[in-house]
């Protein structure tokens, strides 16, 4: 069904099951170890699986001169060593950087494009044998110089095809004549997604048909891309990804574990499993690229924005995408003269790709701090400045393209009242013992995306319902919310619905990414259930338009007759398939989720140590399908926002082209002791132009702007403005030192 007009009343509006706080359906399976992840399948046909270990390149740019595998092949338990010399023919990738559903060949030649690129796979009877044998491979390289430092390559950066420049009015004239101006540059470092479950795959061939159990967020992407890579018809490949232990964008692509497990399993005639090590996650898979962002904001003395300028620079391998950190600036605030540009430099670091809230995740770190700097220059309250520059339509295209819904002002005012914003003082004025205390604010913005998605529902003979879709659950609650939608539509309890996910034998679904998963896949379940309701009503001779489904029964809305769902279907059940596709509503209306973040931090006057004490997020994201899972998504995003502000940073060896802190001991992420009192408020909202479910994406909204709120609070506490993330102790101490010298 194509969604082309705003949604009217639907059975979902009853909200008997939907919007209610249900714990995750799969939670007990996970905490008891019964949820099977990709590496763990042990069906009868998989019990003799061999183990593969990927050997990565020690150089970042150059070529292989020789690779000697003789000693490894003779090692105990070794069944196969794959290199470029014996790897089967593969499809070609048009660039060097992997893309979501393109061929991603491995061991395809002698050229080395980035550090830890796969150069061999050792397969043995045990993991330990494979790992030990990999160390016996002798490799000679031809090392070439490469570019690994973004700051040094800014002059070589060029426009990109994935983000158009925004040029509205006469920015240079307007900015040059603005009574109040800020011109500041912020930098964000490379960051790693570092999911709990490593990237892993288990491949099993039955004749010419491959089943690949893998950890992936969007199955039809890996399905299509793997078929291109292996040069196997897509119909002969089945992908299974029932449970995913986190992805945050890194599992939107597929890597050596999937390709090499499949190739080795076919050659050996035996199942092969491959899991990347924790170190390999950092240098073999994707990461969020570093950015350099220049913000220029010009305003009248009243605070009204006149000129909005944002230039964003990032780097990637040839064929890779830019980090679109300036894109939210096109839509968030008013300002009639605008110049917003994205530029990409070619770097030889490991591939840059999506990380939770790509674009806004780091773009808001710069924009929302620049807005605070403008507020200070105006001697104006930062909340008031944001409210003053609210706009209810696309500021580039004008009133002809309004927002489908935009409750930013309410989020700011509700948050300010609830957080106690009126207690905020001037920078450096509030001290408690050895701690300087400050408050900070930032807006939250994440574009609302929707994707084509399908689902199948089946009424079983016992009156229960089964939902099947390729949609994945990466810890976000997909099992639960899809069950709630189905239960609401058929008048059942959540316990009466079984949800099966993550299998390409099911209808193709949106998958988990871009905050489009829940809204899109719920829409397909809605349409499937709507068709099933119609079929059931007609079977009973009821009018489908007035039939009422409640408490396991169907009631004729006209005559008052009713029939139980139990026993209505035969042994094979009664099924319906629904597909949600989306028309031009995203073009006719700007669609986005909004919110506001408020942070309180304390900074030690001796060490510069920063502690976040309180954090509040107020979110407006359409219908909240499940407040428990939605809150969890926000809390996770807020935690990642704290990490981005204070600690997360991949350290680049600019001589050798690798990330040197490639583990969770040295790549710092927040732990329980770092996370304070977090709170989330959801504003009541239905967005009838977003989907038939009237929801919007929320999974990434929780991170967008949090880091800026923390940074603004640090400035309010200390009087030190740090524009180079993360805000570490030495940077704050250096700021104090400069103040003393000044």
* Interval 695-716: pLDDT, tens: 999 999 999 999 999 999 999 9
Q: What are phi and psi of 98, to 5 degrees?
A: -65, 145
Please provide the DSSP assignment of 265-297 as one string: HHHHTS-EEEE--HHHHHHTS-BBPPEEEEEEE
Percentage of residues in the chain having pLDDT higher than 70: 100
User: In 193-318, which ranges are continuous DSSP H helix?
Assistant: 219-230, 256-268, 278-283
The band of 483, judged by pLDDT with boundaries at 50, 70 and 90, is very high
In the chain, the largest separation of any two C-alpha atoms, in whole Å, equals 86
Q: At 98, is the pLDDT very low, low, confident or very high (cuts 50, 70, 90)?
A: confident
pLDDT higher than threshold 90 for residue 164? no
pLDDT value at 570 more than 80: yes
Angle at CA of residue 336, ends 705 and 314, nearest 5°: 45
pLDDT digits (tens, 9 = 90+) for 366-401: 999 999 999 999 999 999 999 999 999 999 999 999
User: Any idea which residue has 């031009």 for tokens?
Assistant: 584
Strand, helix or coil at 51? strand
Render 547-613 in DSSP notation, one character per residue: -EEETTEEE-TTT--EEESTTTS-TT-EEEEEEEEE-SHHHHSB-EEEEEEEEEEEEETTT--EEEE
Mean pLDDT of 519-543: 97
Q: Is the dihedral of CA 724, 726, 730, 735 positive or negative?
A: positive
SS3 call for 668: coil
Average pLDDT estimate for 25-42: 96
Which phi-psi region, left, alpha or beta, contains residue 500 (left: φ > 0; alpha: ψ -120 to 50)? beta
Tokens of 701: 């909204």
pLDDT value at 176 more than 90: yes
Cα–chain center distance at 542: 44
Whether residue 578 contacts residue 525, with contact meaning beta carbons closer than 8 Å, is answered with yes
- For residue 421, what are its two tokens? 């914003």
CB 284 within 8 A of CB 117: yes
Nearest CA to 543 out of 565, 516, 561 is that of 561
Q: Are strands 453-459 and 465-469 parallel, antiparallel or unpaired?
A: antiparallel
pLDDT digits (tens, 9 = 90+) for 540-556: 999 999 999 999 999 99
Cα–Cα distance, 588 to 580 (Å, whole number):
19
Q: Indicate the range of 116-125, 155-164, 323-332 predicted with least confidence.
A: 155-164
Decide: 113 and 61 in contact? Cβ < 8 Å: yes
Mean pLDDT of 508-521: 97
- Model confidence pLDDT, tens digit, residues 442-469: 999 999 999 999 999 999 999 999 999 9
Going from the C-alpha of 400 to that of each of 191, 395, 718, the distances in angstroms are: 38, 10, 44
Q: Is the pLDDT of residue 79 over 90?
A: yes
Q: Considering the domain 359-448+591-741 in this protein, what is its CATH number?
A: 3.30.365.10
Packing angle between helix 706-718 and helix 729-741, nearest 10 degrees? 40
Q: Is the pLDDT of residue 411 over 90?
A: yes
CA distances from 48 to 51, 306, 369, 657 (A): 10, 68, 56, 39
Question: Residue 162 pLDDT more than 80?
Answer: no
Note whether 433 and 580 are within 8 A (CB): no
What is the average per-residue pLDDT within 184-210? Answer: 98
DSSP-derived letter for residue 672 is G
Distance CA 401, CA 521 (A): 26
pLDDT number for residue 148: 98
**pLDDT, mean of residues 46-61:** 97
SS3 state of residue 679: strand
pLDDT digits (tens, 9 = 90+) for 664-685: 999 999 999 999 989 999 999 9
Give, in order, the Cα–Cα distances in Å from 14 to each of 11, 378, 550, 574: 6, 48, 11, 24
pLDDT over 90 for what percent of the chain? 96
What integer pLDDT is reported at residue 557 of this predicted model? 85
Of the candidates 267, 275, 277, 251, the one whose C-alpha atom is nearest the C-alpha of residue 210 is 267
Which residue, chain included where needed, has tokens 């997909």?
478
Nearest Cα to Cα of residue 713 among 471, 434, 423: 423
pTM: 0.97
Q: Same topology for domains 2-35+450-584 and 359-448+591-741, yes or no?
A: yes
Q: What is the pLDDT of residues 203-240, one digit of tens each?
A: 999 999 999 999 999 999 999 999 999 999 999 999 99
Contact 343, 311 (CB under 8 A): yes
The string over 282-299, giving b where at least 16 C-beta atoms fall within 10 Å of a residue's C-beta and e elsewhere, is: bbbbbbbbbbbbbbbbbb
Residue 43: partners with Cβ closer than 8 Å, 6 or more residues away: none
Q: At what angle do helices 706-718 and 360-378 cross, to 10 degrees?
A: 30
- Of the candidate CATH numbers 3.40.50.2300, 3.30.420.10, 3.30.365.10, 3.30.70.2660, the domain formed by 2-35+450-584 belongs to 3.30.365.10
pLDDT at 39 over 80: yes
For residue 437, what pLDDT is reported?
A: 98
Q: 106: pLDDT confidence band, cut at 50, 70 and 90? A: very high
Burial of 536 (0-12, 13-18, 19+ CB in 10 A): buried
Q: Evaluate if residue 100 carries a pLDDT over 90.
A: no
Q: What is the dihedral of CA 235, 240, 244, 249, to 10 degrees?
A: -10
Over 90: is that where the pLDDT of 93 sits? no
3 state DSSP class of 446: strand
Residue 739 has a pLDDT of 85
Q: Is the pLDDT of residue 274 over 90?
A: yes
Q: What is the pLDDT averaged over residues 295-321? A: 97
What amino acid positions are annotated as catalytic residues? 700
Q: Contact, 219 vs 471, CB < 8 A?
A: no
CB-count exposure of residue 731 (10 Å: 0-12, 13-18, 19+):
middle
Q: What CA–CA distance (Å, rounded) separates 548 from 557?
A: 6
pLDDT band at 559 (very low <50, low <70, confident <90, very high): confident
Instruction: Give residue 177's region: left, alpha or beta (phi > 0; psi -120 to 50).
Output: alpha
700 contacts: CB under 8 Å, gap ≥ 6: 356, 357, 360, 361, 446, 514, 515, 637
Coil vs helix vs strand at 339: strand
Contact in structure between 172 and 233 (CB atoms under 8 Å): no
User: How far is 696 from 690, CA to CA, in rounded Å?
Assistant: 7
Please tell me the predicted confidence (pLDDT) of residue 536: 97
As a whole number of angstroms, the distance between CA 612 and CA 623 comes to 30
Q: Enumerate the domain spans of the chain.
A: 2-35+450-584, 359-448+591-741
pLDDT at 263 over 90: yes
Residues 25, 27, 32, 37, Cα dihedral to 10°: 90
- For residue 256, pLDDT over 90 is answered with yes
Residue 163 binned pLDDT confidence (cut-offs 50, 70, 90): confident
- In 347-475, the DSSP E strands lie at 393-394, 398-402, 431-432, 435-447, 453-459, 465-469
Cα–Cα distance list, 471 to 102, 451, 508 (Å): 20, 12, 8
pLDDT of residue 558: 82
Nearest to 165 by CA among 403, 329, 314: 329
pLDDT value at residue 715: 98
Q: Rounded to 5 degrees, what are φ and ψ at 387? A: -65, -40
Total length of the chain: 742
Instruction: State the average pLDDT over residues 586-594.
Output: 97
Task: Find, among 179, 186, 615, 172, the residue nearest to 379 by Cα.
Answer: 179
What's the CA gap between 536 and 530, in Å, rounded? 10
User: Using omega within 30 degrees of 0 as the cis cutoff, is the peptide bond preceding 726 cis?
Assistant: yes
């Amino acid at each position: 069904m194509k969604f082309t007009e705003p949604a009217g009343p639907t059975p979902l509006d009853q909200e008997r099951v939907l919007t209610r706080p249900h714990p995750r359906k799969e939670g007990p399976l996970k905490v008891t170890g019964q949820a099977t992840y990709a590496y763990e399948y042990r069906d009868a046909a998989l019990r003799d699986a061999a183990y593969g270990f990927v050997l990565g390149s020690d150089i970042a740019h150059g070529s292989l001169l020789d690779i000697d595998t003789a000693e490894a092949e003779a090692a105990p338990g070794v069944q196969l060593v794959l290199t470029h010399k014996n790897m089967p023919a593969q499809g070609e990738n048009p660039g060097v950087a992997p893309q979501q559903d393109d061929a991603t060949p491995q061991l395809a030649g002698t050229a080395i494009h980035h550090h830890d690129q796969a150069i061999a796979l050792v397969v043995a009877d045990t993991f330990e044998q494979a790992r030990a044998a990999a160390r016996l491979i002798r490799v000679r390289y031809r090392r070439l110089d490469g570019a690994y430092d973004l700051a040094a390559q800014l002059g070589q950066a060029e426009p990109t095809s994935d983000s158009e420049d925004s040029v509205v009015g006469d920015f240079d004239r307007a900015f040059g004549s603005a009574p109040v101006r800020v011109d500041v540059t912020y930098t964000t470092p490379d960051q790693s997604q570092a999911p709990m479950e490593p990237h892993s795959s288990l491949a099993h061939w039955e004749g010419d048909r491959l089943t690949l159990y893998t950890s992936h967020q969007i199955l039809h992407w890996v399905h299509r891309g793997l078929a291109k890579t292996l040069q196997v018809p897509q119909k002969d490949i089945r992908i299974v990804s029932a449970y995913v232990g986190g992805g945050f964008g890194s599992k939107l692509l597929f890597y050596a574990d999937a390709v090499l497990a499949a190739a080795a399993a076919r050659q050996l005639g035996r199942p092969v499993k491959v899991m990347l090590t924790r170190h390999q996650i950092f240098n073999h898979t994707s990461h969020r690229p570093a950015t350099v962002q220049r913000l220029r904001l010009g305003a009248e003395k009243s605070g009204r924005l006149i000129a909005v300028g944002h230039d964003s620079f990032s780097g990637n391998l040839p064929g890779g995408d830019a980090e679109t950190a300036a894109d939210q600036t096109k839509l968030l605030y008013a300002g009639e003269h605008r110049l917003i540009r994205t530029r990409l430099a070619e770097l030889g670091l490991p591939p840059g790709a999506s990380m939770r809230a790509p674009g806004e995740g780091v773009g808001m770190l710069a924009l929302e701090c620049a807005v605070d700097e403008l507020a200070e220059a105006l001697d104006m309250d930062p909340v008031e400045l944001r409210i003053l520059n609210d706009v209810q339509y696309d500021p580039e295209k004008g009133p002809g393209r309004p927002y489908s819904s935009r409750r930013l002002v309410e989020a700011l005012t509700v948050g300010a009242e609830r957080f106690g914003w009126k207690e905020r003082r001037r920078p450096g004025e509030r001290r408690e013992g050895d701690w300087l205390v400050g408050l900070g604010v930032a807006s939250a913005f994440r574009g609302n995306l929707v994707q084509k998605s399908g689902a199948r529902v089946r009424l079983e003979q016992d009156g229960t319902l089964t939902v099947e879709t390729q949609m994945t659950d990466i810890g976000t609650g997909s099992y639960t919310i899809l069950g709630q939608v189905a239960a609401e539509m058929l008048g059942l309890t959540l316990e009466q619905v079984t949800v099966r996910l993550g299998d390409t034998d099911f209808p193709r679904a949106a998958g988990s990414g871009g905050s489009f998963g829940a809204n899109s896949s719920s829409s397909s379940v809605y349409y499937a259930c709507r068709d099933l309701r119609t079929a059931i009503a007609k079977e009973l001779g009821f009018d489908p338009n007035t039939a009422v489904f409640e408490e396991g029964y169907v009631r004729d809305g006209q005559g008052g007759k009713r029939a139980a769902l139990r026993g209505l279907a035969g042994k094979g059940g009664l099924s319906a398939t629904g597909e949600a596709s989306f028309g031009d509503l995203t073009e006719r209306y700007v669609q986005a989720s909004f919110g506001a973040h408020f942070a309180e931090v304390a900074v030690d006057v001796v060490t510069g140590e920063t502690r976040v004490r309180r954090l509040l997020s107020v979110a407006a994201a359409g219908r909240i399908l499940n407040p428990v899972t939605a809150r969890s998504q926000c809390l996770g995003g807020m935690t990642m926002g704290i990490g981005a502000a204070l600690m997360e940073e991949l350290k680049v060896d600019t001589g050798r082209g690798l990330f040197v802190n490639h583990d969770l001991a040295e790549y710092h992420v927040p732990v329980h002791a770092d996370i304070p009192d977090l709170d989330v408020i959801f504003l009541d909202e239905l967005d009838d132009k977003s989907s038939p479910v009237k929801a919007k994406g929320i999974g990434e909204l929780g991170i967008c702007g949090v880091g800026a709120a923390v940074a603004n609070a640090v400035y309010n506490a200390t009087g030190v403005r740090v524009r180079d993330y993360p805000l570490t102790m030495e940077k704050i101490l250096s700021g104090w030192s400069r103040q003393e010298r000044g």
